[in-house]
Chain A
Amino acid sequence: MGARDDAWQGEEAAARRGTGRRRFLGYVLAAPTLTVAAQLGEAALAPRQAAAQAASVVPSLPGPSEIYDLNDMLTHATLPTANLITIRIDADGTAAFALPRAEVGQGITTSSAMLIAEELDLPLDKVRVTLADARPELLFNQLTGGSNTTISTFTPIRVAAAVARGRLLRAAALELGEVVGSLTARAGAVVSTTGRSLTYGELAEKAAARTDTAVEVTLKDRSRFTVIGTPQRRIDALEAVTGRKKFAMDVQVPDALPTMVCRPPTINGTVRSVANLDAVRTMPGITDVVRISTGVAVRGRTFGQCIDAVRALKVTWGPGTADGASDETVLRKLKAAEPPLVVSPLPLLTKAVDARFTFHFASNSALETNCAIADVRADSAEIWAGLKSPIAAQEQIAHRLGLPIGAVRVHVTEGGGSFGRKLFHDAASEAAEISKAMGKPVKLMWHRADDFRQGRTHPMSTSRVRATYTPGEVLTYAQRHTSVATDYGHGFGEVITSQAARLPVADLTFSQTVFQLTQQSPYHFGATTMLLNETDNGYNTGAMRNIYSPNVRCAQELVVDELAKRMGDQDPYAFRRRFLKDERARAVLDKVAELGSWGRAMPAGTAQGIAVHPEYHSFVAVLAEIDCRPETTGRKIPDAYTGPRVTKVVCAVDVGLAVNPLGLEAQMMGGIIDGIAVTLTSGLHLRDGHFLEGSWDNYFYTRQWNTPPELEIVVMPPTTGRPGGAGELAVAGAMAAVACAYGRATGTMPTTFPVNHAEPLGFEPPPTTPPIPASPTDGLDRAF
Chain B
Amino acid sequence: MPQHTFILNGRAVTAEVEDDARLLWVLRDVLDVTGPKYGCGVGVCRACTSHINGRAFTPCTVPVKDIAPTDEITTIEGLPATVGRDLHPLQEAWLDLDVAQCGYCQPGQIMTAVAQVRRARVEGREIDDADLDEIRNICRCGTYNRIREAIVAGARRMP
Per-position binary interface string of chain A over residues 651-693, scored 1 when its CB falls under 8 Å from any chain B CB and 0 otherwise: 0000000000011001001111110000000000000000000
B100 touches A237 (CB 8 A): yes
Q: Tell whether, in the assembled complex, residue A666 and residue B143 are in contact, meaning their CB atoms are under 8 Å apart.
A: yes
Alpha-carbon distance between A782 and B52 when the two chains are bound, in angstroms: 11
Contact A780 B57 (CB under 8 A): yes
Contacts of A671 in B (CB 8 A): 142
| Contact call A302/B41, Cβ cutoff below 8 A | no
Contact present for B17 and A302 (CB under 8 Å): yes
Q: Name which residue of chain B comes closest to A448, CB basis.
A: B40
**Range of interface residues on A (Cβ < 8 Å):** 35 or more
A416 near B37: Cβ-Cβ < 8 Å: yes
Most buried by B among A105, A236, A366: A105
Chain A 696-717: CB-based contact to B (< 8 A → 1; otherwise 0) = 1100011111011101000000
> Would you call B37 and A778 a contact (CB within 8 A)?
no
| B13 in contact (CB, < 8 A) | no
**A576: CB under 8 A from chain B?**
no
- Interface residue? B153 (CB, 8 A): no
| Closest B residue by C-beta to A668 | B142
As a 0/1 sequence over residues 102 to 121 of chain A, the CB contacts with chain B under 8 angstroms (1 = contact) are: 00111100000000000000
Check: A346 CB closer than 8 A to any chain B CB. Answer: no
A107's closest neighbor in chain B, by CB?
A: B101
Q: Which residues on A sit within 8 Å (CB–CB) of B148?
A: 704, 707
Binary contact readout B39-83 vs A (1 if CB under 8 angstroms, 0 otherwise): 111111101000010011111111100100000000111001000
Report if A783 contacts B (CB, 8 A).
Answer: yes
Known: A240-B100, A416-B37, A662-B98. A674 touches B21 (CB 8 A): no
Q: Is the CB of A782 within 8 A of B43?
A: yes
Closest to B144 in A: A707
B42 in contact with A670 (CB, 8 Å): no
Among B130-151, those with CB < 8 Å from A are 132-148
- A775-B144 in contact (CB<8A): no
Known: A247-B37, A782-B57. A417 touches B104 (CB 8 A): yes
| Residue of A242, A666, A696 most packed against chain B (CB within 10 A) | A242
> Within the assembled complex, what's the spacing in Å between the Cα atoms of A777 and B45?
16
Q: Which residues of B contact A301 (CB under 8 A)?
A: 29-30
**In the bound complex, what is the Cα–Cα distance between A246 and B102 (angstroms)?**
11
Q: Contact at B100–A777, with CB atoms within 8 Å? A: no
Instruction: Verify if A303 is at the interface (C-beta below 8 Å from B).
Output: yes
Find B55's partner among A249, A777, A778, A784 (CB 8 Å cutoff): A784
Within 8 A of B (CB), among A295-310: 301-305, 307
B residues in contact with A596, CB < 8 Å = none
The answer to whether A417 and B95 touch across the interface, beta carbons within 8 angstroms, is no
**From residue 94 to 127 of chain B, which have CB atoms closer than 8 A to chain A?**
94-95, 98-107, 110, 115-116, 119
Complex: chain B residue closest to A698, CB-CB: B44
User: What is the chain B residue whose CB lies nearest that of A308?
Assistant: B20
A506 nearest CB across to chain B (Å)? 38
Residues of B within 8 A of A670 (CB): 101, 141-143
Q: Which residues of B contact A673 (CB under 8 A)?
A: 142-144
A369 vs B140: C-alpha distance in the bound complex, in angstroms?
11
Chain A at the B interface: mostly helix, strand, loop or mixed?
loop
Residue from A236, A246, A367, A711 in contact with B140 in the complex, judged by beta carbons closer than 8 Å: A367
Chain A residues with CB below 8 A from B37, complex form: 247, 367-368, 416
Within 8 Å of chain B (Cβ to Cβ): is A754? no
**Contact: B40 with A695, CB < 8 Å?**
yes
Q: Is B102 in contact with A784, judged by CB distance below 8 angstroms?
A: no
User: What 1/0 mask marks residues of chain A from 634 to 664 whose CB sits below 8 Å from any chain B CB?
Assistant: 0000011000000000000000000000110
Asked if A239 is at the interface (CB within 8 A of a chain B CB), the reply is yes
A416 and B142 within 8 A (CB): no
A254 CB–B CB distance under 8 Å: no
User: Given A234-B98, A662-B98, A782-B43: A777 and B132 within 8 A (CB)?
Assistant: no
Is there contact, CB below 8 Å, between A780 and B66? yes
Asked if A415 CB lies within 8 Å of chain B CBs, one says yes
B43, B80, B101, most chain A CB atoms within 10 A: B101
* Of A236, A640, A696, the contact of B103 (CB 8 Å cutoff): A236
Chain B residues whose CB sits within 8 angstroms of the CB of A365 once the complex forms:
140
Chain B hits for A445, CB < 8 A: 38
Q: How far is the CB of A377 from chain B (nearest CB, A)?
A: 24
Please, which residues of chain A bring their CB within 8 A of the CB of B132? 704
Docked complex Cα distance between A104 and B104 (Å)? 10
Contact with B along A461-504 (1 / 0, CB 8 A): 00000000000000000000000000000000000000000000
Cross-chain contact of B138 among A242, A252, A701 (Cβ < 8 A): A701
Q: With an 8 A cutoff between CB atoms, is A241 at the interface?
A: yes
A258 at the interface (CB under 8 A from B): yes
CA A702 – CA B143 in complex, angstroms?
11
**Quick check: A775 and B41 within 8 Å, CB to CB?**
yes
Asked whether B146 lies within 8 Å of A666 as measured between CB atoms, the reply is yes
A280 to B85, CA, bound (A): 47
Closest to A240 in B: B103
The residue of chain A having its C-beta at the shortest distance from the C-beta of B137 within the complex is: A704
B5 on the A face (CB < 8 A): no
Q: Which residues of the other chain, B, contact A666 by a CB distance below 8 angstroms?
A: 98, 101, 143, 146
User: Nearest Cβ distance between residue A634 and chain B, in whole angstroms?
Assistant: 15
CB nearest neighbor in B for A772 = B41
Of all chain B residues, the one with the shortest Cβ separation from A419 is: B140
Is the CB–CB distance between B21 and A783 below 8 Å?
A: no
Q: Assuming A243-B35, A284-B18, A784-B55, is B145 touching A711 (CB within 8 A)?
A: yes
Q: Which of B18, B30, B98, B106 has the most CB of A within 10 A?
A: B98
Question: How far does the Cβ of A707 sit from chain B's closest Cβ, in whole Å?
Answer: 4
9 nearest CB pairs, A to B? A243-B35, A673-B142, A105-B102, A240-B103, A779-B61, A416-B104, A243-B76, A105-B101, A670-B142
Residues of A participating in the B interface, judged by any CB pair closer than 8 Å: 104-107, 233-234, 236-247, 249-250, 252, 258, 284-285, 301-305, 307, 365-369, 414-419, 445, 447-448, 639-640, 662-663, 666, 669-674, 695-697, 701-705, 707-709, 711, 772-773, 775-780, 782-784
**A-B residue pairs in contact (CB < 8 Å), sample of 5:** A242-B80, A302-B21, A303-B41, A639-B44, A779-B62
Taking A105-B101, A448-B42, A674-B142 as given, write out 11 further A-B residue pairs in contact, using a Cβ cutoff of 8 Å, ordered by the A residue number: A105-B104, A237-B98, A237-B103, A302-B21, A304-B29, A369-B39, A669-B142, A673-B143, A673-B144, A704-B144, A775-B60
Query: Which positions in B face A, CB cutoff 8 Å?
Result: 17-18, 20-22, 24-26, 28-30, 32, 34-45, 47, 52, 55-63, 66, 75-77, 80, 87, 91, 94-95, 98-107, 110, 115-116, 119, 129, 132-148
